[in-house]
Structures are given as structure tokens and as C-alpha cells.
Amino acid sequence: MIEGPHKRATAGALAGTWFIVSAALTDALRQQVPTIPEIGNVPREIERLRKCATE
């Protein structure tokens, strides 16, 4: 649950976790296919979490 006084910390942790996992998976895939591009678009849900974390 993301409601309550811990909302900012929870949102920041979730957005950070998404970034770390996405980067790790992309790096692992690049070992097999070096032409995989950087992550271009951040999903809308992750942007919302980032916004919650900074409010």
C-alpha cells in the first residue's frame, strides 16, 4: 500500500527499484545484442512514482 505518511519514501524506493532492475536487464541483454538502445521512455506509472517521491 502506498498511502500514508510513508508515501514519499515508498514511491522513491519503487521508482529506484524499477530503474535498477531495468538497467541490469538491459545490460545483460546487451551482452548478447550490443545494439540494444538505452531506455528511452519511462512508463507513466514510474513517472508518477517519481513525482510522488519528490512532492
Can you give the residue range of the structural domain that contains 48?
7-54
Domains of the chain: total: 1
Look at residue 37 in the predicted model and tell me its pLDDT: 85
pTM score: 0.72
Whether the Cβ atoms of residue 25 and residue 53 lie closer than 8 Å to each other: no
The residue that leads in pLDDT, 29 or 2, is 29
Report the candidate in 44, 47, 45, 39 with the shortest Cα–Cα distance to residue 20.
39
Q: Is 22 domain-assigned? A: yes
Look at residue 1 in the predicted model and tell me its pLDDT: 54
Residue 3 has pLDDT above 70, yes or no: no
pLDDT tens, residue by residue, 17-40: 999 999 899 999 999 999 988 878
Q: Is 37 domain-assigned? A: yes
Q: Is 19 domain-assigned? A: yes
Q: Is 34 domain-assigned? A: yes
* Average pLDDT taken over every residue of the chain: 85
